Amino acid sequence: MCELLGMSANVPTDICFSFTGFLHRGGGTGPHRDGWGIAFYEEGGYREFRDPHPSVHSRIARLICEYPIKSNIVISHIRQANVGGVKLANTHPFVREMWGQPWCYAHNGQLSGWETLDLASYRPVGSTDSEHAFCHLLGELRRRYPDPPEDRRGLWSSLHELCEKLRGLGVFNLLLADGEYLYTYCSTKLAHITRRAPFGEANLSDAEMVVNFVEHTTPDDVVSVLATEPLTDNEEWVRMQPGELLVWREGEIVARYLSDE
């Protein structure tokens, strides 16, 4: 299984602290040695860094830890390969442009029968179930909404429906973003925490590191972090429910969809 890390914030925020703990799971405290990637939506654009080597030994990962990139939305992934060989084309996150926005996607889990999922506007570059499911999901949204919908709720509801369908094929924990919204869907495992004033201290579970957020924030900052497993051991993380889709904007939950089951 892979691990996911996501962030939504109301001010450009660096993810160095969380990423430092997270990347230790990539071949350090965790078994996820088969590559990693991180995508940043920054003021004025999108960029990503991907590497097919274990994050704990990656020079590029080290740069990301030391070089604070300020961002409102981050999606990161460390990989333990199941479907698809260890290579760059199979390394998350994946990105496609829809409606002039870069849509970024990372998946934790494994699907069966994914080869038969319809593809329309988008085709996979690599050979993973994850990227195939992404191309299916985005192609289906684009088929329903050829232009960016004014009715955001309809789009989100479609997204939830498609996620539920994919969950029917196996395990489908998801981080997805369009630059404004971060979408998080839980199939089995995804936890979140929202930090806001009064800020306190946090201890990383996977590395010896403590941060006092008071020193790095202003009283109006709202920063939410999501991860497959909580990254700190002295804070209360909220575990999402199976079938739950959360829509985040500027660090806050703006919509929530639950399974009908």
Least distance CB 180 / a second copy (angstroms): 13
Out of 70, 97, 233, 256, the residue judged to bind a second copy by CB under 8 A: 97
Q: How far apart are CA 237 and CA 149, in angstroms?
A: 33
Give whichever of 122 and 181 is closer to a second copy, judged by the CB atom. Answer: 122
Q: Does 123 bind a second copy (CB under 8 A)?
A: yes
Stretch that binds a second copy, among 9-17, 121-129, 159-167, 229-237 (CB under 8 A): 121-129
2 is catalytic: yes
Work out whether 44 is an interface residue with a second copy (CB under 8 A): yes
Window of 12-20, 83-91, 204-212, 223-231 that interacts with a second copy by CB under 8 A: 83-91
Instruction: Specify the residue, 64 or 159, whose C-beta has the smaller distance to a second copy.
Output: 64
Among residues 54, 124, 139, 251, which is the contact residue for a second copy, using CB under 8 A? 124
Quick check: 22 binds a second copy (CB under 8 A)? no
Catalytic residue among 2, 135, 163, 186: 2
Q: Is 54 in the site for a second copy (CB under 8 A)?
A: no
As beta bridge partners, residue 253 has 248
Q: Does residue 67 touch a second copy according to CB under 8 A? A: yes
Helices (H), the chain: 16-24, 59-66, 129-144, 152-167
Residue-wise DSSP of 222-242: -EEEEESS-SBSSS-PEEPPT
Contact 98, 138 (CB under 8 A): yes
Task: Please identify, among the stretches 13-21, 41-49, 105-113, 242-250, the one whose residues bind a second copy according to the rule CB under 8 A.
Answer: 41-49
Q: Least CB distance from residue 83 to a second copy, whole Å? A: 15
Q: Where do the DSSP E strands lie in the chain?
A: 3-13, 36-42, 45-51, 71-78, 94-98, 101-108, 173-177, 182-186, 191-195, 201-203, 210-212, 223-227, 238-239, 244-249, 252-257
Whether a cis peptide bond, with omega within 30° of 0, leads into 242 is no
Cβ pair 231, 206 in contact under 8 A? yes
Whether cis (ω within 30° of 0) applies to the bond prior to 198 is: yes
**Residue 67 Cβ vs a second copy, minimum distance, rounded to whole Å:** 5
By CB under 8 A, what part of segment 163-222 binds a second copy?
none
Residues binding a second copy (CB under 8 A): 42-52, 59-60, 63, 67, 85, 87-91, 96-97, 99-102, 121-126
Catalytic residues: 2
